[in-house]
Amino acid sequence: MNQILEPTECPCCSYPLTKINDQLFCKNTACSAQLNKKIEHFAKALNIKGLGPKTVELLNLSDIIEVYYLDVEDTEAILGKTLANKLLAEIEKSKDATLDMVLAAFSIPLIGTVAAKKLAAKISSIDDITEDVCKEAGLGDKATSNIITWLSDEYISMKEFLPFRFKQFSTNSGKLVCITGKLKSYPTKDEAYKALIEHGYRIADNVTKDVDILVNESGVPSSKTVKAEKYGITITTDLTSLL
């Protein structure tokens, strides 16, 4: 009878395997099999439809960051125009993911949906995470160690390349705001837009039924104001009251 020998190397990357509690693990962070699984988990956690194992392989993705830098023409050439457009729309939508969803998406050991929600409930920004905050959130020592290590290593190297705010959205998150007329609270509309976006609002150029709030600090009854009144949209004369 032939003896079955225990493998000593990862079958994917040939990295030496580590044995932990009678189980073998590949500790190579550049192992393509692990990277693919991380991308698949990331897509699932952020509800990016269409980014499954086959698509990850077809697009030759090897890093989470690459998801947000897909070339439109290249993606269309590989997936076809219809599927490519759907996928790119899903990726764009994922940029508005909540902080707890984002935290749970990075495959940080022991930081799943439940732990991420507990953390997000205690902070307003990812930069607020400390060992004490983790303890207040009810995380164990190992989970705390894992996320603190991730923050000082992987997060530092990737944060500037990812589109997330890494902040907890306010209760006004997602509300659509339109501005009409001259502003009193800000020198320019661009500065006002920036402040609104930082507080979780979305910006609309024109008044439609989807708009939640119209800002009219000038008080002049513009055509946008008339439309807003017609649609029953909230009108404010003080933009700063939204912040």
Per-residue pLDDT band at 173 (split at 50, 70, 90): low
CA distance 25 to 22: 10
- The predicted pLDDT at position 8 comes to 81
* Residue that is written with structure tokens 């991730």 in the block: 150
> What is the spatial distance between Cα 175 and Cα 166, in angstroms, rounded to a whole number?
18
Give 96-111 pLDDT, tens digit per residue.
888 999 999 999 999 9
Separation of alpha carbons 74 and 192, rounded Å: 36
The per-residue pLDDT for range 206-224, each reduced to its tens digit, is 999 999 999 999 999 999 9
Neighbours of 188 (CB within 10 A): 9
Give me the sign of the Cα torsion angle 217, 219, 222, 226.
Answer: positive
Q: Note the pLDDT tens digit of each residue in 67-125.
A: 999 999 999 999 999 999 999 999 999 998 889 999 999 999 999 999 999 999 898 89
Whether the pTM exceeds 0.75: the reply is: no
Asked if 108 contacts 146 with a C-beta cutoff of 8 angstroms, the reply is yes
Choice among 167-176, 183-192, 232-241 with the minimum mean pLDDT:
167-176
Query: Would you say 183 and 217 are in contact if contact means Cβ atoms under 8 Å apart?
Result: yes
pLDDT of residue 1: 54
Q: What secondary structure, in 3-state letters, does the chain show?
A: CCCCCCCCECCCCCCEEEEECCEEEECCCCCHHHHHHHHHHHHHHCCCCCCCHHHHHHCCCCCHHHHHHCCHHHHHHHHCHHHHHHHHHHHHHHCCCCHHHHHHHCCCCCCCHHHHHHHHCCCCEHHHCCHHHHHHCCCCHHHHHHHHHHHHCHHHHHHHHCCCCCECCCCCCCCEEEECCCCCCCCCHHHHHHHHHHCCCEEECCCCCCCCEEECCCCCCCHHHHHHHHHCCEEECCHHHHC
Of the candidates 167, 231, 198, the one whose C-alpha atom is nearest the C-alpha of residue 239 is 198
